[in-house]
């Protein structure tokens, strides 16, 4: 984690420009005009995101949709197009996707995955001190090192 906070800016509706999104919100609102605001976003957003967006929008959750002003609606659209999240820390080991540490790679022969220290011991995957950004690279490490180790154990 860096010392200074990182801010992410997420466009939750990249397929719609601001104008089209506003039209979409108006359409959804006209179908739900007697509902409370917090119950009017089901078609627009995933369930878990609704309370977050409702809170960030500054519009009262119990406000009737037909009482939402144009300004509030536009602010909601702007929020959906540019949702800002400030990262303040990591979520801890229980929720970790990849870990650093493990067996030092200099102690392993990269062609065979055999330990350079102990005979007939092989390593593969996350037990090694290798980590990559998420997106398949860690799985690739696990599969490739597993394959290399298996091919040499078999011999």
- What is the DSSP code (8-state) at residue 61? T
Residue 97 within binding range of ligand FAD, rule CB under 6 A: yes
Which residue's CB is nearer to ligand FAD, number 83 or number 142? 142
Which residue's CB is nearer to ligand FAD, number 30 or number 134? 134
- What is the DSSP code (8-state) at residue 2? -
User: Across-strand partners of 52?
Assistant: none
**In 2-155, beta strands by DSSP E:** 6-10, 83-87
Beta strand 83-87 pairing with 6-10: antiparallel
CB neighbour list of residue 22: distance below 8 Å, 6 or more residues apart: 73, 74, 77
Site string for ligand FAD, 39-78 (x = CB under 6 A): ----------------------------------------
Residue 92 within binding range of ligand FAD, rule CB under 6 A: no
Distance CA 133, CA 97 (A): 10
User: Cβ of residue 131: shortest distance to ligand FAD, in angstroms?
Assistant: 8
Which residue's CB is nearer to ligand FAD, number 22 or number 126? 126
Which residue's CB is nearer to ligand FAD, number 67 or number 153? 153
**In 58-103, beta strands by DSSP E:** 83-87
Report the site for ligand FAD in 100-139 (rule: CB under 6 A): 125-126, 134-139
Which residue's CB is nearer to ligand FAD, number 39 or number 134? 134
Token pair 């929008």 in the structure block, residue: 57
Residue 150 within binding range of ligand FAD, rule CB under 6 A: no
- Name the residues that contact ligand FAD, by CB under 6 A: 97-98, 125-126, 134-139, 142
């Amino acid at each position: 984690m860096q010392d200074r906070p990182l801010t992410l800016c997420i466009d939750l509706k990249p397929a719609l420009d601001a104008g089209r999104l506003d039209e979409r919100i108006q359409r959804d609102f006209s179908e739900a005009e007697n509902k409370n605001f917090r119950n009017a976003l089901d078609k627009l957003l995933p369930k878990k995101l609704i309370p977050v967006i409702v809170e960030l929008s500054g519009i009262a959750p119990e406000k009737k949709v037909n009482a939402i002003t144009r300004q509030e609606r536009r602010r909601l659209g702007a929020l959906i197009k540019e949702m800002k999240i400030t990262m303040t820390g990591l979520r801890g080991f229980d929720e970790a996707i990849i870990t650093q540490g493990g067996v030092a790679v200099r102690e392993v022969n990269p062609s065979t995955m055999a330990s350079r220290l102990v005979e007939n011991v092989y390593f593969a995957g996350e037990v090694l001190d290798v980590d990559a950004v998420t997106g398949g690279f860690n799985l690739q490490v696990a599969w490739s090192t597993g394959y290399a180790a298996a091919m040499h154990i078999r011999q």
